[in-house]
Amino acid sequence: MASLPSKQKALLLESQQGNFILGTNVVHRPGAGQLLLRIKATALNPVDWKIQKHGIFINEFPAVLGTDLAGEVVALGEGVTKFQVGDRVFCQGRFTNDYASFQEYTLADEHHLAKIPSNITYDQACTIPLGLTTAYVSLYNTTPHGIGLVSPVEPAGQGHYKGEPILVLGGATSVGQFAIQLAKLSGFSPIITTASPKHIPYLKSLGATHVLDRHLSLPDLKSEIAKITTQPIKYVYDAVSLPDTQHIGNEILAPGGYLMLVLSPTITSEDKHVNPVLAMRQLDHNVKLLTGLYSKLTGLVESDAIKPNKVELLPGGLNGIVEGLKKMERDQVSGVKLVVRPEETTVAPS
């Protein structure tokens, strides 16, 4: 560790609802059970611009954001045995300056880290963690943190829900894409999703059996679903979770069914289960579940059972993040994950 730098470039959120600036952060040294990674690629998520705009989740500033990352192991803490210096790895970060990803180096925990198989790149690998864990926690954690389904990463859970229909609203979102893939592994059929028509071939390649136009009215959407299946829809995954999609999901859901949300509920229901998700990996109720997922994740990706999101690479390293977040806020990103490479950061934004 003697050859590692003491400082690194980092994109800093100056204050609550403040501006982003290119600055520096210390390079933290790994403790017991930790590793230090040189970040090769990091992906942007909607939560990043929402933290800046709404002042949520973070109370200490300047702050480093970013929670999707892939990189190279450069140092090991005491007791780490599953990884070696030089390994290509990916993981979900945290909203703390030692674990976040809008910088050149970050810490990672051994039990929430996976090796990158040879069939995907750093850029692709960094699109997986947050979207996958969000979908996974919703579906497979115990109630009230999820809906308690049997996980398909264990043999007993593979194909367990064969013949059971599921609806994924917002299939082209990052979370929606992983919800579709997990539904396929769990055996759900038909897997119905909503998206723009341009995404139909790709979403079907992930496992969707039917892709309906996201602009359909509620009556038309109900009519199209009725043509696909006569079974009640007991599971709806709303990967958008705006008030209008929550209403649609609730109206389509059968009594006693489960509506999974990625944002806070704007609806209530007396005869249906409404389940918002908090997918932060450090939460006590997620640690064991996600440790199990990460232990299987390399194999799932290597076998193409889990596929990464499509990548749109932004130029300029960390300097490209600010404009990327603005594009996301303006709803100008569809079907792809915006990715930057911190090592390409050269000069401060003007």
pLDDT tens figures, 195-206? 999 999 999 999
CA angle, residues 123, 103, 285, in degrees to nearest 5: 80
pLDDT of res. 349: 41
What letter would DSSP give residue 309?
A: P
pLDDT of res. 107: 98
Which of 56, 65, 58, 53 is closest to 25 using CA atoms? 65
Give strand pairing partners of 293: none
What is the arithmetic mean of pLDDT over 97-121?
98
Q: Are 66 and 101 in contact (CB under 8 A)?
A: yes
Domains, the chain, ordered by start: 7-128+308-344 (3.90.180.10), 131-276 (3.40.50.720)
What is the arithmetic mean of pLDDT over 261-283?
87
Q: Is residue 234's pLDDT more than 80?
A: yes
CB atoms closer than 10 angstroms to residue 316: 17
pLDDT tens figures, 127-178? 999 999 999 999 999 888 899 999 999 888 999 999 999 999 999 999 999 9
Q: Are 141 and 289 in contact (CB under 8 A)?
A: yes
347 pLDDT band (50/70/90 cuts)? low
Phi, psi torsion values for 43, nearest 5 degrees = -105, 155
Tell me what the pLDDT averaged over the chain comes to: 95
Contacts of 194 by beta carbon, 8 Å cutoff, 6+ apart: 167, 168, 169, 170, 171, 211, 212, 213, 214, 216, 221
Give strand pairing partners of 199: none
Give strand pairing partners of 118: none
